[in-house]
């Protein structure tokens, strides 16, 4: 599971580098594009920023999950202390909460 988390971390860091590039490129040719495509560009930028925010949150969760592995606290909900189900950890190895806490 550590190897999985570490490769997920590398993946998210690479994705983050990509979205940061995307989010930063919109203003460059504003003068050259018409109003509509500028709106498109701004929408794309907002989406890229939202994507970046989500990726950052997920990256934090992965880092925290690795820390919990080190502390023998991995797989235990940080809110209620119950075990997080294996199926959930399979889908989201970085999940900090059990399903009940995550949805409630
Ligand atoms: Zn819980």
Overall domain count for the chain: 1
Q: Residue 92, Cβ neighbours under 10 Å: how many?
A: 17
The pLDDT tens digits of the residues spanning 14-57 come to 999 887 776 666 555 555 557 778 888 889 889 989 999 999 99
**Is residue 39 assigned to a domain?**
yes
Residue 65 domain-assigned? yes
97 Cα–ligand 1 center, Å: 5
Query: pTM (2 decimals)?
Result: 0.79
Domain that holds residue 55: 2-73
Residues having C-beta closer than 5 Å to ion ligand 1: 77, 79-80, 82, 98, 101
What pLDDT does residue 38 have?
A: 82
Tell me the CA–centroid distance for residue 20 and ligand 1, in Å: 33
Q: What is the pLDDT of residues 67-89, one digit of tens each?
A: 999 999 999 999 999 999 999 99
81 domain-assigned: no
């Amino acid at each position: 599971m550590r190897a999985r988390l570490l490769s997920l971390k590398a993946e998210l860091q690479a994705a983050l580098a990509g979205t940061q590039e995307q989010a930063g490129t919109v203003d460059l040719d504003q003068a050259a594009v018409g109003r509509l495509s500028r709106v498109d560009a701004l929408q794309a930028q907002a989406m890229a920023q939202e994507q970046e925010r989500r990726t950052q949150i997920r990256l934090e969760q992965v880092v925290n999950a690795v820390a919990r592995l080190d502390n023998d606290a991995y797989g235990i909900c940080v809110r209620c202390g119950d075990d997080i189900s294996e199926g959930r950890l399979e889908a989201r190895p970085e999940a900090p909460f059990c399903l009940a806490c995550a949805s409630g």
